[in-house]
Structure 1
Amino acid sequence: MNNSLEHVNSITGAVIDVGTNSVKLLVGEICDGVVSPIYETSYQTRLGSSLYSYGKLMPDSIASTCEAINQLVHKARKLSSQFIRIFATSAARDASNSSELQQLVKTETGLDLEIISEEQEAIWAFDGITQNLKPRIPIIVLDVGGGSTQLSVGLAGTRPIFQSLDLGAVRLMHSFPRMHQDEPPGLATMNECIGIVSSILDTSIDLNIKAWINRFRSQSVLFGAGGTASVLASVKNGLKKFDRQLIDSTIISTPELLAMLEQLWTKSLKDRELIVGLPKNKADIIIFGVVIYFSFIKLFQFAELRPSTRGIRFGALLDSVRAFYKNKPINF
């Protein structure tokens, strides 16, 4: 879906992605419909930590998230970004008081915080991953976030069929409140979690999407977007620092994914924090994100998962450049 960006001049822009678990910045150069990253970083603020218990964002989470956004805006400006787009996803969509976060961001940065729709989130993830792929290749993008999971299917270069599922790593973690982090959750609890997620996927995924997957399964490529998939690639490769090229070239077979899943669920939080490639601040929620990927792969009998570092933020940059050239309202 990048044809409208062909033969345009190079432009540097920034997007700040305010998720349920973390706030992430991508500054990139966009030229001929392709994003080349210049700088990336993130802060874990757990904006949605109280959402599934109280239905709203807590003042401390709002404050820490706004502080992170403020720092990222400052960094984007130092890197001479020609536009800065700030958007929020699942937690802000679901919270009853998300306007408080929007107002604080406006006051602190002078910029607007856009709460994007489920449709926009899914399309951006699909566009971001497929930007460098040959047209017409059947693609499935599973973007597991903290509060929701975006499922998009379609041919590269076309508009995908999509669905947003109320299923995310943080949301799922809150379904297991009695889990003791100082003890391994164990395989019995893991299988219980897989059963819950498998049931949700089987009953919730749209019949048209199921039909598309079944039709193109043998030809399609399953990409995993978002932090969980990148962490899986980092763990498989024993990465001590971020390596986009290696992560994007990693293929995780279904048996490998199951072995990693069992390893994670049979370790305590303290022991998971020692795993090379797994950031300590994600050691608690990672087990739930991996369950979602494994349950999807098991349901549709895929042989492998391909993690991708190019997802929603890359798609957001492409869309923002379109808006920039069409003179639509956007933060500068």
Structure 2
Amino acid sequence: MFAALDLGTNNCRLLIVSSGQRGVRIVDNYNRVVRLGEGLYETGLLSEAAMDRTMQALHHCAARIHRRKSFNLYAVATEACRRASNAPFFLNRVQEETGLNISVISPREEVELAVTGCSTFLHDRVLRRNRTKTLLFDIGGGSTEVAWVRIDPVRRKQTLIGCCSVPVGVITLREQFKRLTLNEYYQMVDFVISKITEFERVHQIRAEILREQVQFIGVSGTVTALASMILKQPKYSRAAIDGLMLETTQVKDMIRHILVSKFNKIYDYATVNHSKLHYLLPGCAIFEAIHTVWPVEDIVVADRGIRDGIIAKMLDNKLNKANKHNFDILHSFVKN
């Protein structure tokens, strides 16, 4: 058994798989919105309410893990725990109450795990369309990660050319722009653009886009939600979304539809619940900013990320035991 836990600013996610002679299969998959980073932008602290919500989810995760007789676990925390001054206190509490040892990873580690989790798409001939580079972005609750990747199709390898972590996510952006008027929506777009232009200046990605050499991959709840709306799914289906290729004009048309509906008070946002717009619109603003700077014509939607990258590394470690000393993110959890 292999278990990966991703404690983000907005969500707590757990994935457990088994590996045997018949291959790899998913045993358990858990995802709970906890909003751990709610209020962090203003106070620099994890609030009591946010920590209590998150503890409930982590108790559920621990119970699911404890039911397995033999497993390997790696649990990580990202932007909220990187930024909050009381994060060490919270993570100590988590370990004492649940036994879960959660490591705070760096932005680069976060990017690398997201890229590894999407490696199947990087080397899929249909999805890659013979392009030599990939621009991958992951819109989180507290930050947005961007990865610029070189593809080696012969060896089926990828190289991370560069990455950046923008301290802007759906929660922090929503708290920064409280009124969320139409004018503020476009202010959000401009704000995010100002945060990523330096990365473009250094790597000249736009020039590669003009030469049609760039694959575009979106990893986030924002992108998967928009894809589900485009497909008019009555209920979200991961099987239909993960690996879906869309024209970016379809995504931007859906965003226009949401904006018109929202600000003209016409509550018919396809399949999206009105309450979800609270964080969907900041995500849309981040997507628009990214696509404004890097206008790729199509996008691969990925319903995967850090957890999948952790599992992939664990499986690779199992298959390559000689390299075990090189893999320092495999932790064993022993129930007391």
Indicate whether the TM-score tops 0.5: yes
What letter corresponds to residue 155 of structure 1 in structure 2? Answer: R
Moved more, 153-162 or 113-122: 153-162
CA shift, 1:263, in A, is: 2.2
CA shift, 1:84, in A, is: 2.3
> Which residue of the partner structure matches residue 260 of structure 2?
266
Choose from 174, 192, 198 the match for 1:197: 192
Deviations 1:41-64 (A, max 9, x none): 211111101100100101221122
Instruction: Say whether residues 1:308 and 2:302 are aligned partners.
Output: yes
Note the 1:1-332 alignment, pairs <5 A: 12-29=1-18, 36-78=25-67, 82-131=71-120, 133-134=122-123, 137-156=132-151, 157-160=157-160, 161-179=162-180, 185-186=181-182, 188-202=183-197, 204-205=198-199, 207-208=201-202, 210-212=203-205, 214-215=207-208, 218-268=212-262, 275-278=269-272, 282-321=276-315, 325=321, 326=324, 330-332=331-333
- The unaligned stretches of length 5 or more in structure 2 are 125-130, 152-156
Q: Distance in 1 between matches of 2:284 and 2:291?
A: 11
Query: Secondary structure of 2:135's partner?
Result: strand
CA shift, 1:80, in A, is: 5.3
What letter corresponds to residue 302 of structure 2 in structure 1? Answer: S
CA shift, 1:72, in A, is: 1.4
CA shift, 1:98, in A, is: 0.3
CA shift, 1:130, in A, is: 1.3
Q: Is the 8 A contact 2:200 2:206 kept in 1?
A: no
With normalisation by structure 1, the TM-score equals: 0.84
> Which residue of the partner structure matches residue 182 of structure 1?
none
CA shift, 1:94, in A, is: 0.6
When the two chains are superposed, the root-mean-square deviation of aligned CA atoms in Å is 2.8
> Which residue of the partner structure matches residue 6 of structure 1?
none
Q: Distance in 1 between matches of 2:173 and 2:281?
A: 10
> Which residue of the partner structure matches residue 3 of structure 1?
none
Query: Secondary structure of 1:252's partner?
Result: strand
Return closer, same or farther for 1:133/1:215 CA change in 2, 3 Å cut-off: closer
CA shift, 1:222, in A, is: 0.3
Deviations 1:247-302 (A, max 9, x none): 12433323222222222223449x79864543666331111111111221121221
Q: Distance in 1 between matches of 2:216 and 2:37?
A: 28
Q: Distance in 2 between matches of 1:21 and 1:163?
A: 20
CA shift, 1:103, in A, is: 0.8
Q: Distance in 1 between matches of 2:270 and 2:256?
A: 16
> Which residue of the partner structure matches residue 8 of structure 1?
none
Q: Distance in 1 between matches of 2:316 and 2:135?
A: 24
Percent same amino acid among aligned pairs? Answer: 23
Deviations 1:1-21 (A, max 9, x none): xxxxxxxxxxx3111111111
Q: Distance in 1 between matches of 2:61 and 2:266?
A: 29
CA shift, 1:31, in A, is: 7.5
CA shift, 1:151, in A, is: 0.7
Q: Distance in 1 between matches of 2:310 and 2:87?
A: 21
Deviations 1:60-97 (A, max 9, x none): 21122122011012123335561222211001001111
Deviations 1:93-115 (A, max 9, x none): 01111012211110111121110
Moved more, 304-313 or 322-331: 322-331
What letter corresponds to residue 255 of structure 1 in structure 2? Answer: T
- The unaligned stretches of length 5 or more in structure 1 are 1-11, 180-184
Q: Distance in 1 between matches of 2:268 and 2:187?
A: 25
> Which residue of the partner structure matches residue 154 of structure 2?
none
Moved more, 36-45 or 12-21: 36-45
